């Protein structure tokens, strides 16, 4: 009796499975609409997923890429200090050099002499400087404006001094008179009393005698301390 029990359980299990299979099949046969609805739902879900993916790939993604690439490049804005400096440079060009009035000898009338040539004799230049007295700013400006101007002065030779690369002569006014101590004192206060020549004219300079009247061509050059020197090109002896 007991030996038949396992076989009975196996047969019963197989019949139950067969019954379940037949029941599922019967359900399919008995209710085909339900199957169709399930299939339709699955197809709809799959179709929706495909449509969504295609829409994102062909429409949304290109728009996103275009918007990201169309953004203007980042620019660094200048700081307020840099902007103020650029504005200051734009509206404040280099100031023109200080100029004297049109009546000044540094600016002769049109058609006269070159603006680079000083239209003052040595004595006139000396006296104008000394007349500024204690107006020290004006005296400094006077010297600065004179520096770089060409001169043709008639002076009296005093003495020479030889250097390694040039020769210097010292001079005074050609209008000084012996015994005129006031004129001599004023002449000693002149801002310019020497001229530098190239070594090529050394022999000619050393052949001069103290008191000879000469004419000098050269250019005034500032040497500091409201003093000037003449970078001379040449000189000539004026016969007595």
Tens digit of each residue's pLDDT (9 = 90 or more) over 21-66: 455 566 566 666 766 777 777 777 877 777 676 666 666 566 666 5
pLDDT at 40: 73
Confirm if 217 and 232 have CB atoms less than 8 A apart.
Answer: yes
Percent of the chain beyond pLDDT 70?
59
Q: Rounded to a whole number, what is the largest CA-CA distance in the chain?
A: 174
Write the pLDDT tens digit of every residue in 79-131.
Answer: 444 444 443 433 334 333 433 333 333 344 444 455 589 999 999 999 999 99
Element (H, E) at 96: none
For residue 151, what pLDDT band results from cuts at 50, 70 and 90? very high
| Angstrom distance (rounded) from CA 219 to CA 232 | 6
Write the pLDDT tens digit of every residue in 180-217.
Answer: 787 888 888 999 999 999 999 999 999 999 999 999 99
pLDDT at 82: 43
Q: CA nearest 235: which of 209, 182, 196?
A: 196
What's this model's pTM, rounded to 2 decimal places?
0.53
The beta strand positions in 56-186, using DSSP E, are 150-162, 166-173
pLDDT at 101: 35
For residue 5, what pLDDT band results from cuts at 50, 70 and 90? very low
**pLDDT at 179 exceeding the cut of 80:** no
Q: How far is CA 1 from CA 5, 7, 13, 120, 171, in A?
A: 7, 11, 19, 156, 160
pLDDT at 186: 83
Confirm if 195 and 166 have CB atoms less than 8 A apart.
Answer: no
């Amino acid at each position: 009796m007991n030996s038949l029990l396992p076989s009975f359980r196996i047969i019963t299990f197989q019949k139950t499975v067969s019954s379940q299979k037949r029941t599922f099949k019967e359900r399919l046969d008995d209710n085909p609409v339900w199957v169709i609805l399930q299939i339709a739902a699955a197809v709809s879900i799959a179709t929706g997923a495909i449509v969504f993916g295609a829409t994102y790939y062909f429409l949304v993604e290109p728009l996103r890429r275009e918007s990201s690439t169309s953004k203007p490049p980042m620019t660094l804005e200048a700081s307020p200090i840099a902007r103020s400096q650029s504005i200051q440079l734009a509206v404040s060009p280099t100031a023109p050099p200080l100029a004297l009035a049109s009546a000044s000898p540094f600016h002769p009338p049109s058609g006269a002499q070159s603006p680079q040539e000083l239209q003052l004799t040595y004595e006139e230049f000396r006296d104008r400087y000394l007349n500024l007295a204690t107006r020290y700013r004006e005296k400094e400006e006077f010297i600065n404006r004179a520096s770089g101007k060409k001169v043709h002065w008639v002076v009296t030779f005093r003495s020479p001094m030889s250097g390694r690369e040039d020769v210097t002569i010292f001079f005074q006014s050609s209008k000084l008179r012996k015994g005129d101590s006031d004129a001599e004192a004023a002449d000693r206060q002149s801002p310019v009393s020497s001229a530098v020549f190239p070594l090529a004219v050394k022999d000619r300079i050393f052949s001069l005698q103290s008191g000879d009247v000469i004419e000098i061509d050269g250019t005034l050059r500032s040497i500091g301390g409201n003093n000037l020197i003449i970078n001379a090109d040449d000189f000539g002896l004026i016969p007595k």
